[in-house]
Amino acid sequence: MTETVGDWLGLVHELYPPAQAASWDAVGLHVGDPAWPVDRVLVALDVTGAVVDEAAAEPHTLVLAHHPLLFRPLARLTPDTAAGRTALRAARAGVAIAAAHTNLDVTGDGAGTSDPVVRVLDLQDVRPLTSELRDGSMLKLVVFVPPEALDAVLDAVSAAGAGEAGDYERCSFRVRGTGTFRPVGDAQPYSGEHGEDNDVDEFRLEVQVPRSRAGAVVRALLGAHPYEEVAYDLFPTVAGAEVGFGRIGRLPEAATLEDVAARIRADLPAPFLRFAGDPTRELRTVAIVGGSGDSLLSAAVAAGADVFVTGDLKHHVVLDALELGITLVDAGHHATEVAALPSWIERLRDAATAEGLHARLLPSSVPTGPWAGTADRRQA
């Protein structure tokens, strides 16, 4: 069967639910049609004209990017803006473009954009720097089932993605009760008498459902349930929707600011790295936000971090940090995030194999880091 943009978008959203993205973000499909066929998926940090050209070299290519191409609403789609020009280029070539941005940043599967620095520094006792609950990433399915059909219904909805909690599957709650109904008109009841008030033995079955799997779960439910009219409800919950930006953890052994900066510089693909604070100060607790993290400086200070590792730090933010007693490492927006792409691709490949998707999945070969180097050192 031909794979489609919609198939791959469903896979991405199952791993990184759009409901976990920040409210201001623009994730999902930006260019293309969910029905377009897909033979190749290119993973990139950014969508540029050169990335689109690489994708257009082969038909049926989906570009899956971290940074959204159409991040800000467009009043018109013309070549007068960089985003408009790139989107038109992609549309003409039949290249689909989708993004997983802050919903990837907050993931806990090791592919988040703050995780590479965690691994470089071998941090211990790692946790999210921030934590909040977001409504809507999980639903609760409630359905009423006759006893003899209970196992078949649970089997069907579980196979479609319901009832999973961490390393547990087929998780449900059930309670026995009495259902009442009166069949009228052309009704053909599974049990009971037409035109009469009927009391029947039923179970109330409850399971959690990822929002991205709701359609598949409901279809499975209706296919397995014996009733002519299935009584079910889907409720939004906050269960499983705790998300957090950044990471904070402890170094295995105390190290100086200069040493920490050198280790990051050696392992990240950064054309430059700068740090602020006393180079000889001993550090133990490290806060990290991949990409641009100056808005979370206060969270790093409140969490007791000795150093805050991020990118795109502004002049006055640096001055504020030093006044607040925290040191800084600015490794650049691109370098702190692009290092997460291999882990992201690995998670996607594992999930695609499990779902039976076989399109070629590979990183874009186009470098999108904008900086060529510094005055005293050119980027290799």
The percentage of residues in the chain with a pLDDT greater than 90, rounded to a whole number, is: 80
Distance CA(68)–CA(49), nearest Å, equals: 14
Is the pLDDT reported for residue 11 higher than 80? yes
pLDDT of residue 111: 87
pLDDT in tens, 15-52: 898 888 888 999 999 999 999 999 999 999 999 999 99
- 67, pLDDT greater than 90: yes
| Spatial separation of the C-alpha atoms in residues 8 and 43, rounded to whole Å | 12
Structure confidence by residue, pLDDT tens digits, 267-305:
998 888 999 999 999 999 999 999 999 999 999 999 999
Domain 5-106+340-363 has CATH 3.40.1390.30: yes
Query: pLDDT > 70: what percent of the chain?
Result: 96
User: How deeply is 240 buried, as exposed, middle or buried, from its count of CB atoms within 10 A (0-12, 13-18, 19+)?
Assistant: middle
CA distances from 189 to 18, 53, 205, 327 (A): 40, 59, 20, 71
DSSP 239: T
Could you identify the residue written with the tokens 């290799």?
A: 380
User: Predicted confidence band at 199 (pLDDT cuts at 50, 70, 90)?
Assistant: very high
d(CA 243, CA 22): 10
Q: Cα separation of 371 and 368, whole Å? A: 9
Q: Do residues 36 and 5 lie in contact, with contact meaning Cβ atoms separated by under 8 Å?
A: yes
Lowest-confidence range among 262-271, 284-293, 310-319? 262-271
pLDDT bucket at 380, cuts 50 / 70 / 90: very low
Would you call 172 helix, strand, or coil by DSSP? coil
pLDDT at residue 377, rounded to an integer = 54
Distance CA 352, CA 361 (A): 9
Specify the amino acid at residue 277.
G
For the chain, first and last CA: distance in Å?
Answer: 44
The 10s digit of each residue's pLDDT in 104-151 is 999 888 889 999 999 999 999 999 999 876 655 689 999 999 999 999
Domain 138-240 has CATH 3.40.50.460: no
Q: What pLDDT, on a 0 to 100 scale, did the predictor assign at position 108?
A: 83
Is 196 buried (19+), middle (13-18) or exposed (0-12) by CB count in 10 A?
Answer: exposed
Q: Which two tokens stand for residue 327?
A: 């040191």
Fold matches, 115-132+244-336 and 138-240 = no
Residue ranges per structural domain of the chain: 5-106+340-363, 115-132+244-336, 138-240
Which string of DSSP letters, residue by residue, matches 312-342? ---HHHHHHHHHHT-EEEE--HHHHHHTTHH
Q: In what order do the strands lie in the sheet with 96-99?
A: 28-31, 96-99, 61-65, 40-44, 360-363
The answer to whether 309 touches 287, Cβ cutoff 8 Å, is: yes
| Locus of tokens 């049926």 | 60
Residue predicted with more confidence, 203 or 238: 203
**Which of the four CATH numbers 3.40.1390.30, 3.30.2420.10, 3.50.50.60, 3.40.1360.10 does domain 115-132+244-336 have?**
3.40.1390.30
- Are 208 and 139 in contact by the 8 Å Cβ rule? The answer is yes
Helix axes 341-355, 5-15, angle to 10 degrees: 110
Q: Is the pLDDT of residue 82 over 90?
A: yes
pLDDT at 379: 47
